[in-house]
Structure 1
């Protein structure tokens, strides 16, 4: 037996090259952590499962009506919008990224981070601002009529912002930074060597970009576009306000206007299919994305930029200025001018209540989400099992789901849960509990936790990956428990990543609209729903102060990101 390759372990059983499949089954090292991780994954997947159940509980006539009257038009509109947004953000994001990386022109350093500012403006706020800015009574058409002497709309033509093309223009104006950031990183990190080689062989700048840099950056660009399209599918406020009947708008109109929860769920299933297609495309793009550098110090070398002169310099300045003015300047101008005329609303009880509700909801959701993210990541480190990694991966799928899908699925689950508890207590104790979670702020917090768990998990994981892999094990070898080593060693070192995760989830919860509309209790308003309600009544100016509060709050992560860009050696030189 001394020479036998088999060994016995009380933890693993018989192990060795000849052990049977049944004897090599490994017991969970931390069963409680594993159970909680799988429970979190199950809660995240509950909205999807309930959505499927609701959709297929409807009769054949419901499906027939949807396929005849709703899905053809809504699907065509949604796909047209996605194509238009994808094309616009690709051109705008790639062009601006190449411009600030490859060329030298006035204020290049400023625009390298200022081009990210539109990310602080949610699409629904941009839609309200653009509609006011480009309407007949807005400054653009007023200036046009004054300059050319037009007296009415019959004298000239102006594009209608309340259209599919207008919605694509609005969304592209604030979502293009996703593509800009991914393309810029690849142009800086990956394209420098091959671009320099191509230039030494006599290739012109345009040919270098088209034949060398663009093929290299294509996977990263596709990943950025996939994020843009998922944000486009998730939108409800912009599309509804601009009169564009997308699938997301159809979920709400089918359920609320027709009173058909099953029909709304069936439309949401079509949305879910589109989301899965986008997730597959993004995953394939990320798998093909690779970065190679010959040495670590190479990233600090200043890239060779081509100085622009004459009209080319002015053209570059205009190309970099227009996206910032459209995506950030117009909303700031519109809501700022309205806010100056509505300063009396600062003392409004409704606005104060909405601000407090947003603050409490976002604070609770961010704390809960980061705590769950820390637990899941630590559970993976402790168990090191494939099943645990799969469970954490499933728990992170919520960020890819539109808020409307999560909200509609949770609405059904929570209602069933509340009714079951109420029925149980009625039969056993004669007590009626009513609705415990449904129609409360807790439902909104739960939806935001499910949706933004991946955001917190990614931020914390990026921090923990920078630490030595056996750091906590060294503390445990000195007698610390797993919980003690995590609390005394990992948490202090992870405080920057934890703070980043808290800020990101807090800001995204402040901006969240789709799920909040479905799940909020009666009379409960956040800043986002406060602006939405005023815009729905045709008075977006009454929500201007709340809109500015959302933009200022959303500026926090954008400023942090811009600071990182400025610290980048290539961006600063």
Structure 2
């Protein structure tokens, strides 16, 4: 402990972490409230369908993302082919594209009235749907494909890193024993990458479990859509809380599996011997096929949807470029900027106290504050609404006790609810980014500063803060982007009359009129590209 600062701030960090954990407690309490038999009705009728669809969707998306990501990761990490250098980062671009936008674009292309089926009917002379069969994109399988196209970069990035860091000596030994590159991949490289693949699959499954917009657009009933419908259509917050706890249980199990996989991966990396990157030369035909596969994947997952959205934005620019667009953009920018600033301050406070305190108990607030990222947006909205409603009523009761009129709904009736919910969800991102930078600061610098008679606050402002600039910038940027894109919590917690870019675009998607919201969608995608560009630059600097 340095000059007793942590002893004074330790309680404050626990209170701060406890505030960020209130949705968990609120969900438990709300689930215990009577629900007028709504949950019993759901359990007896449609709940098995919701659960089955959710689990099946997670399995299909995970398998699809694996099948898409592993070949691309292996080719980029261990093979030499034309375009490899720029494809290794370009394959991350689909992460900037919200899945519901990809779903709308491909539905427009592949529906019965779309250009693909019209062309098929024209080529073969078919007149009606009874003359031929075409897969229905508005289905659970279609939703799984759309999500896999957007989420496969999670697995691709982790698998690419795992393949790149594997020991060359092991591959050389496999060659000496007569194993071909293909056989070495199956018997050596792929098993060694299993912890990274498991972590990627867990992340993809968590994102799938949290998805609302895509399954809602495709009318696939899952637990996330059930929470939304139960709350708004049936008016039962208690039944919605019970459904939310089911989603939360699934997400926490997946998060535990992901954490265990990362731990195994770290143990493996500490005991491996990495001597550099060896690229396998491919034949001319195989090199062209490798380029074609990676390029086709990039086109289907990002370039084609982005090009179509850009075309919509250009065609409908005059009707979209209006006062409402600027107002929604300003709402998104202000909300995201406020959330990124608050999350950064919270992360700095918690991590600084953890840094200067030797007590193991002061590590707990950091872990507690990171739990919010495991909450899907719909679940988070249920958890946030309870304590904020109690706070609103308590404040107005105090004013009534003094005989004056209260301020009204200052939390649930304003954007403060959105700010609170977003801070709970995205504080973990800021914590993770800044914590990584903190680990690079030698403890000897802290001891030297204290020896010179500096106070802990001087240590923070003069030593830590300048050295944390890169992590601070990365954390603020990532939180800003995630806040710009967050949709389910914004839909459920926004005050009357409030719209931002995400809710504005989804409203047009729901009305089958994305063309009018394409300009706003392009802004969301372009802003989402910023962290990917930053990530690519960091990756190139490390290599």
TM norm structure 2: 0.96
**Structure 2 residue 292 is the aligned partner of structure 1 residue 318:** yes
Residue deviations 1:51-109 (CA, integer Å, cap 9, x gap): 11111112583332121123200000000000001111112111110111222222111
2:100, 2:422 → 1: CA distance?
18
**Structure 2 residue 395 is the aligned partner of structure 1 residue 411:** no
2:167, 2:37 → 1: CA distance?
56
CA shift for structure 1 position 567? 4.1
SS in 1 for 2:193: helix
- For residue 108 of structure 1, what is the aligned residue in structure 2? 84
1:495, 1:162 → 2: CA distance?
46
1:36, 1:552 → 2: CA distance?
38
- For residue 240 of structure 1, what is the aligned residue in structure 2? 216
2:450, 2:97 → 1: CA distance?
46
2:116, 2:4 → 1: CA distance?
65
* Deviation larger for 119-128 or 179-188: 119-128
1:428, 1:341 → 2: CA distance?
59
**Structure 2 residue 280 is the aligned partner of structure 1 residue 308:** no
> In structure 2, do the counterparts of structure 1 residues 233 and 293 end up closer, same or farther at CA, with 3 Å as the change threshold?
closer
1:59, 1:521 → 2: CA distance?
25
- For residue 264 of structure 1, what is the aligned residue in structure 2? 240
**Structure 2 residue 458 is the aligned partner of structure 1 residue 481:** no
Choose the corresponding residue for 2:329, options 334, 337, 355: 355
- For residue 477 of structure 2, what is the aligned residue in structure 1? 503
- For residue 182 of structure 1, what is the aligned residue in structure 2? 158
CA shift for structure 1 position 421? 1.1
Choose the corresponding residue for 1:147, options 120, 123, 126: 123
Residue deviations 1:315-374 (CA, integer Å, cap 9, x gap): 222221222111112320221111111111343122111100000000000000011101
Count of aligned pairs: 542
CA shift for structure 1 position 507? 0.3
**1:365 and 1:509 in contact (8 A); partners too:** yes
**Structure 2 residue 341 is the aligned partner of structure 1 residue 367:** yes
1:534, 1:545 → 2: CA distance?
11
Residue deviations 1:543-570 (CA, integer Å, cap 9, x gap): 100100000000001111223344454x
CA shift for structure 1 position 314? 3.1
Choose the corresponding residue for 1:338, options 312, 337, 344: 312
**1:113 and 1:566 in contact (8 A); partners too:** no
CA shift for structure 1 position 195? 1.9
**Structure 2 residue 301 is the aligned partner of structure 1 residue 327:** yes
Residue deviations 1:284-307 (CA, integer Å, cap 9, x gap): 2122113447899x55x3413132
**1:70 and 1:250 in contact (8 A); partners too:** no
**Structure 2 residue 515 is the aligned partner of structure 1 residue 538:** no
Choose the corresponding residue for 2:256, options 280, 300, 303: 280
SS in 2 for 1:57: coil
- For residue 12 of structure 2, what is the aligned residue in structure 1? 36
**1:191 and 1:216 in contact (8 A); partners too:** no
- For residue 413 of structure 2, what is the aligned residue in structure 1? 439
> In structure 2, do the counterparts of structure 1 residues 143 and 467 end up closer, same or farther at CA, with 3 Å as the change threshold?
farther
**Structure 2 residue 60 is the aligned partner of structure 1 residue 84:** yes
**Aligned positions of 1:21-100 closer than 5 A:** 30-59=6-35, 61-100=37-76
2:35, 2:377 → 1: CA distance?
26
2:138, 2:113 → 1: CA distance?
14
TM norm structure 1: 0.91
> In structure 2, do the counterparts of structure 1 residues 99 and 432 end up closer, same or farther at CA, with 3 Å as the change threshold?
same
SS in 2 for 1:176: helix
2:80, 2:127 → 1: CA distance?
45
**1:406 and 1:447 in contact (8 A); partners too:** yes
CA shift for structure 1 position 243? 0.9
Residue deviations 1:201-250 (CA, integer Å, cap 9, x gap): 21012211111011111011111111111111111111100111110011
- For residue 222 of structure 1, what is the aligned residue in structure 2? 198
**2:26 and 2:386 in contact (8 A); partners too:** yes
CA shift for structure 1 position 196? 2.3
- For residue 470 of structure 1, what is the aligned residue in structure 2? 444
> In structure 2, do the counterparts of structure 1 residues 173 and 465 end up closer, same or farther at CA, with 3 Å as the change threshold?
same
**Structure 2 residue 540 is the aligned partner of structure 1 residue 561:** no
**1:101 and 1:305 in contact (8 A); partners too:** no
